[in-house]
Structure 1
């Protein structure tokens, strides 16, 4: 009886490791420090309204920058994160100099610090399941360049 319980629990543990090892090896590219180059994509289906994003960077009166992501044909849906992709909804990803720094769940984000010099800020639109949205082979995103003076 004990050997059957041991065999069953060992089998269950091995199956759990086997299933989860695929998730670990695949990765979801959602952690800080990831670049856009390895991200999965979803092409906008023909006939669907094409989402767009216009990134506007406002210098904050105190310090830092306020990022405004003006979107059309797209709804931020943070309550549906990690769920199946649905046309026209999801979240954004913010990249600074090609490195992902965070997810964007609404139109505004406060960015406190940028390194001195040239900084490339990009916002991409992403499905609930994290894939970058693509239209005609191009990722739906907008980029602004901010030059920060050295003090």
Structure 2
């Protein structure tokens, strides 16, 4: 009797594991985790919002190809540099941010009251559809993901700008980035404070998607989808203004060709 009961339990466990295996996409790993989604009203476009959020990719390389909402006319990716969508590196935590690629939501139905939650569905090539909700909120001066590309500090002539060199090398399935910023010091000390000439941090972008802030010379990028990808680094002040010279951002650009 005890043996029969044990066999029944074992058979049930096997059935559960088999069902879980069938429901889990083979080789895809866990789906990306979406968090801190905020819909920021656009003053120049009533009923339209810029949507920012954090994407934690806990699996292999993926690509964000689109988004939708049942409570809006359209949701589009803006700020990206490729028509295929935004590449999401393996094991990375990129940001949809105002100073990089983000979502533009238009034609919101109903009352656009602050605090309202807007349902969103993001579509990934590998992970498929993932839902979240973005909270309507006025721009927060302490939320630097809400700072747009218009926040700049122009040093004047290009000749006075810091010289930035980027060394990009394969490492495993991903890449390692090493910066040489010359006399410009990359440091977290003083961040969020007033500008200190010759100090600050760098923003790292992948095809327009913001990957991270660099407070030191080294960063890592995980495996990427097949295709060509533009890696860009832009120097920023402690008070989160992109440093320009001669009207152009100060930094470096490299190309990755994944086949």
Task: Provide the rounded CA distance (Å) in 2 between the counterparts of 1:107 and 1:36.
Answer: 21
TM-superposed CA distance for 1:36, in Å, is 4.0
The partner residue of 2:192 within 82, 88, 92 is: 82
Contact 1:93 1:126 in 2 (8 A): yes
Task: Provide the rounded CA distance (Å) in 2 between the counterparts of 1:137 and 1:104.
Answer: 22
Q: How does 1:67-146 map to 2 (within 5 A)?
A: 67-146=177-256
Contact 2:228 2:255 in 1 (8 A): yes
TM-score by length of structure 2 reads: 0.43
1:53 equivalent in structure 2: 164
Please tell me whether residue 64 in structure 1 is matched to residue 127 in structure 2.
no
Structure 2: state its 5+ residue gaps: 1-39, 43-49, 55-94, 102-147
Tell me which stretches of 4 or more aligned residues in structure 1 moved more than 4 Å: 24-27
Structure 1: state its 5+ residue gaps: 1-23
Higher relative contact order (CA 8 A, sep 6+): 1
TM-superposed CA distance for 1:30, in Å, is 10
- RMSD (Å) for aligned C-alpha atoms: 2.7
Please tell me whether residue 33 in structure 1 is matched to residue 96 in structure 2.
yes
Contact 2:156 2:246 in 1 (8 A): no
